[in-house]
């Protein structure tokens, strides 16, 4: 069966822009990389956005296939290109029609969006965030500092999660234009992996936006809902990296001689690669299954209300945890197979190892997600599998 046109276009982009450029993509080059503009020219940018807003309207299941192809070449590029789904899904389900038309429509040509949620002091306890939103007439004023936000410096718009200043139990999600006065990018983090992406520390000082820019619903709940899609795609980057690791190991095995024979004929090497393939197959099926569960809700006429009722999807949590842990085992075992070379910058396996590590850290570390799974899907007997 022939691949869909968008996958053929994607693979052409990967060959032209990413293949063979590991050193450049791992260099923490100035962001955004010029290749992102060229990706926009392919017509694939914002592929998940509804057609009415200029996107291709592709499902999350199809996004898994796209993300795996991108992450095989470079997970940082994949992360940069898909992470706006966290922001746009909140706007799509809970923003006014005016907000959707004005802001979502500008991304399909290659624009970016970002979400500002995490803070240093609050850590994983987002209910403790210090950023505040106060109403002054028909405007909302934001003040605070956010710790980790990818794409912010070049985002067309951002969604800020903030505490209501006069209601400690209230939270808002507020859409802010990227060039709004008072939004200051304080620094770009020198991350150890995903170095083709750009994550920032950002401060907000007297940032004013119309009250109509507040999304409908509790801000923390909206963030939970937005994280469903991005967590599944983060898990998918582990799949793409793992596929690349398998192939890198096979190339190394063909050229490496052990006891007068190629490493590929060694029984220990063969069993390791067989194990990798089994784990890759399960990761693939899990990512696709989680995406289908998400798509089943997204296709409903009352999708926004159903997502609001469900909140965090169990499949999104477990898929990210499983793929992050499994991918790390694959990357760690593969680096050992390279011997001393695996602990240098001479072999690409070191980059792949560093890229893989992020899966179990961003958007909730594994211990945070374990606690979520326990409290929401183990304690309530009716929700257990």
Measure the CA–CA gap between 328 and 335, rounded to whole angstroms.
11
Measure the CA–CA gap between 355 and 71, rounded to whole angstroms.
10
The tens digit of pLDDT for each residue in 138-160 reads 999 999 999 999 999 999 999 99
Q: Would you state the pLDDT for residue 2? A: 63
Q: Would you state the pLDDT for residue 1? A: 43
Q: Would you state the pLDDT for residue 260? A: 85
Q: What is the DSSP string of 279-302?
A: HHHHHHHHHHHHHHHHHHHHTSTT
Tell me phi and psi for residue 204, to 5 degrees: -125, 120
The tens digit of pLDDT for each residue in 269-292 reads 999 999 999 999 999 999 999 999
Measure the CA–CA gap between 174 and 71, rounded to whole angstroms.
30
Nearest to residue 207, comparing CAs of 156, 131, 154?
131
Q: Would you state the pLDDT for residue 242? A: 98
Strands 157-164, 113-116: pairing is parallel
Measure the CA–CA gap between 328 and 321, rounded to whole angstroms.
11
- Which residue carries 């955004």 as its tokens? 32
Please say whether the beta carbons of 139 and 176 come within 8 A.
no
- Which residue carries 């190892």 as its tokens? 353
pTM of the model: 0.96
Measure the CA–CA gap between 60 and 296, rounded to whole angstroms.
10
Residue 128, Cβ density class (10 Å: 0-12 exposed, 13-18 middle, ≥19 buried)? exposed
Q: What is the DSSP string of 189-238?
A: ---SS-TTS-EEEEEEEEEEEEGGGBPSS-HHHHHHHHHHHHHHHHHHHH
pLDDT lower than 70: segments of the chain: 1-2
Structure tokens that stand for 149 in this block: 């936000």
């Amino acid at each position: 069966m022939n691949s869909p046109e968008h996958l053929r276009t994607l693979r052409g982009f990967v060959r032209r822009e990413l293949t063979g450029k590991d050193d450049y993509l791992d260099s923490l080059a100035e962001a955004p990389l010029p290749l992102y503009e060229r990706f926009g020219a392919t017509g694939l940018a914002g592929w998940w956005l509804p057609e009415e807003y200029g996107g291709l309207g592709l499902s999350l299941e199809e996004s898994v296939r796209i993300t795996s192809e991108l992450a095989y070449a470079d997970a940082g590029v994949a992360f940069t290109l898909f992470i706006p789904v966290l922001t746009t899904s909140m706007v799509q389900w809970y923003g006014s029609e005016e907000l959707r038309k004005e802001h979502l429509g500008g991304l399909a040509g290659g624009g970016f969006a970002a979400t500002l949620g995490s803070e240093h002091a609050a850590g994983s306890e987002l209910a403790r965030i210090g950023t505040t939103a106060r109403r002054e007439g028909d405007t909302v004023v934001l003040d605070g500092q956010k710790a980790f936000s990818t794409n912010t410096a070049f985002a067309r718009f951002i969604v800020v999660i903030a505490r209501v200043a006069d209601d400690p139990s209230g939270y808002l999600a507020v859409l802010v234009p990227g060039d709004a006065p008072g939004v200051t990018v304080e620094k770009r983090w020198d991350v150890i992996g995903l170095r083709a992406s750009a994550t920032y520390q950002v401060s907000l000082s007297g940032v004013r936006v119309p009250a109509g820019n507040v999304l409908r619903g509790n801000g923390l709940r909206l963030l939970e809902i937005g994280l469903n899609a991005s967590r599944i795609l983060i898990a998918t980057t582990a799949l793409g990296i793992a596929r690349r690791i398998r192939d890198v190991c096979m190339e190394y095995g063909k050229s490496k001689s052990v006891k007068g024979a190629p490493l590929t004929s060694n029984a220990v090497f063969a069993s390791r690669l067989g194990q990798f393939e089994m784990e890759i197959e399960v990761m693939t099926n899990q990512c696709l299954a989680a995406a289908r569960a998400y798509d089943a809700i997204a296709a409903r006429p009352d999708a926004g209300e159903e997502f609001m009722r469900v909140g965090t999807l169990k499949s999104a949590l477990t898929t990210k945890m499983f793929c992050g842990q499994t991918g790390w085992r694959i990357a760690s075992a593969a680096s050992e197979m390279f011997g001393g070379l695996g602990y240098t910058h001479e072999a690409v396996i070191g980059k792949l190892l560093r890229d893989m590590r992020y899966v179990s850290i961003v958007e909730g570390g594994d211990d945070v997600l374990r606690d979520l799974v326990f409290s929401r899907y183990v304690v309530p007997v009716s929700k257990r599998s």
